[in-house]
């Protein structure tokens, strides 16, 4: 730790001791109270006045009020200015105070939530704001998590618990978290938990939701901590009766609050426009005042002697220039009505009215949840009509995020869940084909419909590649299983893709039954088989794959892997070249139909080699420096020389009303950008399916550059093509009709180049939609 001042510590590493407030207080960690409000009683007036004076009209009228207090130049009473100024500032202040009151109310509601905290060997109800770093908290089902916790134990076997992270990442799928085996033994024993004195050394507070690194030291041993051991503030405990956790980060140090940022003063485009207009009006007023002041000085010099001498002139002294200077300010006061302060009053009233119209709009009422629209602030309502671009995620936003297994390719052979009539258009199931009969399998999922009997025939004939393919689907995943009240097997999935694949394997006779930290049990064609779980190589956005290493009952060690074909194909053994080419063609066909695809591969491992690799992995997990890099390198080392099994294809249907919504937005001249991690063919197919791309468009340009230079070169080529296209169509070309140019760029990456340059092309009106595949 390094001191930056007496009050605040600049953290490079956090050290927390369980059940020891005195030890943790010396580090001056933040408490669990949160503040999202902008003002308090003392700061409201100065801060709000400062914000309001950033409006040019308000600053102008304050300046005008000061001028009117000078008797020599004041031609109007100061009441004429102060009344409208105070009215405008008061109305805006009341609105700002109301918005901030609701923030305070929300803060108080959250800070005063109750949580069970272990204090003096007893569970006591404490307000969230009184929770301290190092405290041990008990959470119960459907309860919000009070702070960032290290999971110690839970009601579920092996220290498992399920959390919903919707408030963090918007995903409603349940995530699985698992306590360390050494702490899961503590269970719900209060005396054991009260005696727990483990020390955690971990990273400093940060906003990375998907990463955590630390080490727990307890009973003369060290245990590596990862994101799977942590429950973050904002999560909700689901399907778990209770769990205990140790507070690592509280209040503003939690990852949720680190991502929130400070409440900032926002100025809308209407405000900016009015400021600009007021500046122009004020400029006109100054010019007019100068002309009138010059005329007054000339008149004073010519015929001024015929009139009464101004009281501020000394006897025998006359200064026509000074008289003109004072006259200029008098005219500024007289002509102050040129600056429309009432415009701001009108705009505030209109904003308030619009917010109520939104709240009352019956077409924006969501009947299924009895939820009306709610305008939480009045300042941004006018921005709704000025939106030009919408950036949307695909999965779960445009699509239902409900995956269905449709097709697969195994050892170079396609097994189609649907029969395709036309190789270009989306194919339909023919009447001649009948769905595969899963009725003989008591634990099959009735909602899965697969229209290819040959896959069942291959399973029954004992095709080893088909069996290995389905075995991989049943083993390589993060799904958790449980039985409901009716005794039926139910899966809890973190990803709908995994759920679809595990369900497919289940229907074809390879049923995932249960898992523990050391084993995975599946049922293979009616025979229970337990595999020893040796290692789990988790998925992330960089690896784009996940792997599991297991030992089968015969003692053989195998690595099963699934992931993006672009990544997995690079890891294949050279002997897979022919199969890779054939499978790649199948993947392109699947992607062209809008299906989500994954490649499937495996590798047999030598026992001696694996033990050496496992020892290096244990050392890497215990490291505090460059831990992630060392683990990633070990993953890369073992995930090589894979043998390709095939590929899967699942369908994610569009949400209801997506096509109509996008069509309406397009009619409003709003440009829509869709971000997706799918293959290029899938992305283009989805674009056509949801009307972002249409057949009426002349051409589709695909930018595939990965560096700034590559993207710049492709843009130059595209620019020349468009110029030639316009010249050929119109016969002549005017440079002033071409507003596109290479402008200064905010970033150095390919993404920034694409967004800035292509938005200029769209603004030019020469391209309707551009599909960008990154």
Q: What is the DSSP string of 426-466?
A: PP---TT------TT-TT--TT-----HHHHHHHHTT-HHH
The chain-wide mean pLDDT, for the chain, equals: 80
pLDDT top residue among 616 and 592: 616
In which band, very low, low, confident or very high, does the pLDDT at 751 lie, cut at 50, 70 and 90?
very low
Q: Is 392 helix (H, G, I), strand (E, B) or coil?
A: strand
Q: At what angle do helices 464-475 and 496-507 cross, to 10 degrees?
A: 140
Euclidean distance between CA atoms 677 and 667, whole angstroms = 27
| pLDDT tens readout for residues 669-711 | 888 888 777 777 777 888 888 878 877 776 677 777 777 777 7
pLDDT top residue among 23 and 36: 23
DSSP state of 145: P
In which band, very low, low, confident or very high, does the pLDDT at 9 lie, cut at 50, 70 and 90?
low
In which band, very low, low, confident or very high, does the pLDDT at 314 lie, cut at 50, 70 and 90?
low
- Just list the catalytic residues: 393
pLDDT at 601 over 90: yes
Q: What are phi and psi of 296, to 5 degrees?
A: -65, -40
**For the ranges 73-82, 101-110, 595-604, 656-665, which has the lowest average pLDDT?**
73-82
What integer pLDDT is reported at residue 708 of this predicted model? 74
User: 544: alpha, beta or left, given left = phi > 0 and alpha = psi -120 to 50?
Assistant: left
Among 164-173, 473-482, 487-496, the range with the most confident prediction by mean pLDDT is 473-482
In which band, very low, low, confident or very high, does the pLDDT at 471 lie, cut at 50, 70 and 90?
very high
Q: What are phi and psi of 153, to 5 degrees?
A: -160, 165
Pair 654, 690: CB distance under 8 Å:
yes
What does the block give as tokens for 215?
A: 């080490």
Q: At what angle do helices 79-111 and 341-360 cross, to 10 degrees?
A: 30
Euclidean distance between CA atoms 513 and 526, whole angstroms = 11
User: Quick one: how far is CA 707 from the chain centroid?
Assistant: 24
What integer pLDDT is reported at residue 475 of this predicted model? 94
Pair 378, 352: CB distance under 8 Å:
yes
| CA-wise closest residue to 164 among 175, 153, 148, 155 | 175
Euclidean distance between CA atoms 586 and 597, whole angstroms = 10
| pLDDT tens readout for residues 530-586 | 999 999 998 877 888 999 999 999 999 999 999 999 899 999 999 999 999 999 999
Euclidean distance between CA atoms 732 and 616, whole angstroms = 69
Q: What is the pTM of this model?
A: 0.68
| pLDDT tens readout for residues 609-663 | 999 999 998 888 877 678 788 888 999 999 999 999 999 999 888 888 888 888 8
- Give the Å distances, CA to CA, from 548 to 472, 501, 504, 556: 9, 15, 19, 14
- Helices marked H in 215-340: 255-260, 269-303, 320-334
What integer pLDDT is reported at residue 577 of this predicted model? 92
| pLDDT tens readout for residues 24-56 | 999 989 999 988 888 888 889 998 888 888 777
Provide the pairing of β-strand 771-772 with 702-703: parallel
pLDDT top residue among 248 and 36: 248
Residues 6+ apart with CB under 8 A from 361: 373
pLDDT at 264 over 90: no
| pLDDT tens readout for residues 226-238 | 888 999 998 999 8
| CA-wise closest residue to 151 among 228, 258, 254 | 228
What does the block give as tokens for 40?
A: 């308090």
What does the block give as tokens for 671?
A: 């440009």
| CA-wise closest residue to 685 among 756, 753, 544, 590 | 590
pLDDT at 261 over 70: no
pLDDT top residue among 431 and 594: 594
Residues 6+ apart with CB under 8 A from 371: 365
Q: What are phi and psi of 93, to 5 degrees?
A: -65, -40
Among 3-7, 149-153, 492-496, the range with the most confident prediction by mean pLDDT is 149-153
């Amino acid at each position: 730790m390094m001191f930056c001042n007496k009050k605040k510590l600049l953290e490079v590493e956090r050290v927390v001791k369980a059940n020891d407030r005195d030890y943790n207080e010396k580090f001056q960690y933040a408490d669990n109270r949160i503040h999202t409000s902008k003002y308090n009683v003392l700061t409201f007036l100065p801060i709000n006045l400062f914000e309001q004076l950033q409006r040019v009209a308000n600053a102008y009228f304050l300046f005008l009020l000061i001028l009117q207090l000078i008797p020599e130049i004041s031609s109007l009473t100061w009441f004429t200015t102060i009344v409208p100024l105070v009215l405008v500032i008061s109305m805006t202040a009341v609105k700002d105070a109301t918005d901030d009151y609701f923030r305070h109310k929300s803060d108080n509601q959250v800070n005063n939530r109750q949580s069970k905290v272990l204090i003096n060997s007893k569970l006591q109800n404490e307000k969230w704001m009184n929770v301290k770093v190092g405290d041990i908290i008990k959470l119960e089902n459907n309860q919000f998590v009070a702070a960032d916790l290290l999971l110690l134990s839970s009601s579920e076997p092996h220290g498992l618990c399920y959390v919903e992270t919707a408030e963090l990442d918007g995903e409603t799928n349940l995530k699985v978290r698992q306590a360390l085996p050494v702490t899961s033994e503590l269970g719900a024993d209060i005396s054991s938990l009260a005696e727990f004195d483990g020390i955690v050394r971990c990273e400093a507070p940060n906003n990375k939701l998907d990463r955590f690194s630390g080490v727990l030291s307890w009973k003369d041993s060290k245990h590596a901590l990862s994101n799977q051991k942590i429950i973050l503030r904002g999560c909700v405990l689901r399907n778990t009766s209770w769990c205990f956790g140790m507070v690592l980060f509280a209040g503003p140090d939690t990852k949720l609050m680190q991502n929130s940022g400070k409440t900032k003063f926002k100025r809308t485009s209407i405000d900016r426009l009015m400021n600009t207009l007021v500046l122009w009006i004020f400029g006109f007023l100054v010019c007019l005042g100068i002309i009138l002041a010059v005329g007054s000085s000339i008149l004073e010099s010519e015929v001024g002697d015929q009139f009464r001498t101004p009281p501020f002139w000394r006897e025998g002294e006359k200064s026509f220039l000074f008289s003109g200077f004072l006259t200029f300010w008098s005219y500024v006061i007289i002509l102050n009505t040129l600056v429309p302060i009432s415009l701001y009053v009108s705009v505030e009233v209109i904003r308030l009215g619009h917010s109520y119209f939104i709240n009352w709009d019956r077409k924006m009422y969501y009947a299924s949840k009895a939820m009306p629209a709610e305008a939480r602030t009045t300042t941004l309502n006018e921005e709704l009509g000025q939106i030009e671009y919408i950036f949307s995620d695909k999965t779960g936003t445009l699509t239902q995020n409900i995956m269905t297994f449709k097709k697969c390719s195994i050892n170079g052979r396609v097994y189609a869940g649907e029969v395709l009539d036309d190789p270009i258009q989306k194919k339909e199931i023919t009447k001649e084909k009948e769905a595969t009969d899963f009725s003989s399998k008591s634990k099959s999922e009735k909602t899965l419909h697969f229209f290819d009997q040959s896959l069942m025939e291959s399973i029954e004939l004992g095709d080893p590649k088909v069996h290995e393919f389905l075995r991989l689907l049943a083993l390589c995943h993060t799904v958790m299983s449980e039985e409901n009240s009716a005794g039926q097997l139910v899966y809890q999935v973190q990803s709908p893709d995994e759920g679809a694949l595990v369900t497919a394997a289940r229907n074809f006779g390879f049923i995932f039954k249960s898992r523990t930290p050391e084993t995975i049990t599946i049922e293979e064609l009616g025979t229970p088989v337990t595999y020893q779980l040796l290692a789990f190589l988790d998925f992330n956005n960089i690896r784009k794959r996940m792997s599991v290493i297991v030992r089968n009952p015969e003692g053989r060690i195998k690595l099963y892997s699934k992931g993006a074909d672009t990544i997995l194909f690079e890891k294949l053994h050279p002997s897979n070249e022919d199969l890779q080419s054939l499978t790649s063609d199948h993947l392109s066909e699947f992607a062209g139909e809008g299906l989500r695809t994954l490649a499937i591969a495996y590798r047999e491992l030598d026992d001696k080699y694996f033990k050496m690799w496992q020892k290096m992995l244990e050392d890497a997990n215990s490291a505090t420096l460059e831990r992630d890099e060392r683990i990633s390198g070990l993953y890369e080392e073992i995930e090589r020389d894979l043998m390709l099994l095939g590929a899967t294809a699942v369908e994610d249907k569009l949400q209801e009303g997506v096509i109509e919504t996008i069509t309406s937005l397009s009619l409003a001249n709003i440009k829509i950008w869709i971000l997706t991690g799918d293959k290029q063919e899938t992305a283009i197919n989805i674009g056509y399916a949801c009307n972002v791309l249409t057949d009426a468009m002349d051409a589709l340009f695909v930018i595939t550059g990965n560096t700034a230079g590559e993207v710049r070169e492709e843009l130059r080529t595209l620019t020349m093509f468009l110029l030639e296209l316009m010249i050929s169509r119109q016969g002549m070309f005017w440079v002033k009709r071409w507003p596109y140019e290479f402008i200064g760029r905010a970033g150095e990456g390919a993404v920034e180049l694409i967004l800035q340059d292509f938005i200029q092309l769209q603004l030019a009106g020469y391209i309707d939609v551009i599909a960008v595949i990154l």
